[in-house]
Every structure is written in C-alpha cells, then in structure tokens.
Amino acid sequence: MKVTVDRAKCEGYAKCVGVSPKVFKLDEKFISVVIDPKADTDQKILFAAKVCPTKAIILEEEETGKRIFPEA
C-alpha cells in the first residue's frame, strides 16, 4: 500500500503517530511524514488514516494506484 501525507492538510495533531509510531512521525515543522509504510499492517495504517482529523493521509493500492482512503 502506498502511504502519503498531504502536507498542506496535516495540522500536526499526531493522532497518526499515536496509532502507528513506526510508520508516521512528526518532522521539525510538526507535519507528519511517512518513515516506513511497511512497518505496520495495512489495517492499522487505515485506522491511522481514519483518525486523522483533517484526512491528510492518503492510501493507494501500490500496483494500480487506486485510491483506498479517503474515498474520492
């Protein structure tokens, strides 16, 4: 699964980091960055994306590029 953070949408709530600290961390500007998209299960990462208040985490199928979350 491809995991991207929309830096324009992220407001540094760090909920994603709380759910999946091996995948997400806050950078020096308090914006979430993806450290390792394979460090957690897809299910856990989907949960992290769902708890993000600004829907800044974008999940896509690696091979097809099809959007998984948030729904377009």
16 interacts with ligand SF4 by CB under 6 A: yes
CA dist 72 and 67 (Å) reads 7
47 interacts with ligand SF4 by CB under 6 A: no
Nearer to ligand SF4, 12 or 37 (CB): 12
Give residues with Cβ within 8 angstroms of 44, minimum separation 6.
19, 20, 23
Residue type, 33: V
Nearer to ligand SF4, 10 or 45 (CB): 10
12 interacts with ligand SF4 by CB under 6 A: yes
Binding site for ligand SF4 (CB under 6 A): 5, 10-16, 32, 52, 54, 56-57
